[in-house]
Structure 1
């Protein structure tokens, strides 16, 4: 796993969303938490990238020093 800084993680999250054609940008932890809560059990297009975004969220929570 490549270690990313907080800014890099949000850039990657937004790239994943853009690649899915979603008109959504996530810029902070509150927005990220809201996204994860909203799409956790969703079967929409977001579910395809949910797991990848969840892993990035976990990395933000734990901090790069934990990896």
Structure 2
């Protein structure tokens, strides 16, 4: 069972790696320009949040594992 979870986790990391990098760059941009106009920052946060939701949804589809039973 742990092997299944590990393979699943590895697959998620490989498929979502570019999304995670984009999110990290977005967060760095957020902190670098925190004194800029607020609407630019809110757009960045909204973009990052959408990425998190997409990754979460894709993980649910890729990993049909009930983690409560592990």
Give the shorter-chain TM-score range.
0.3 to 0.5
TM-score by length of 1: 0.35
Which of the pair has more CA radius of gyration? 2
TM-score by length of 2: 0.34
Q: Which has the higher contact order (CA 8 A, sep 6+)?
A: 2
Bigger helix share:
2
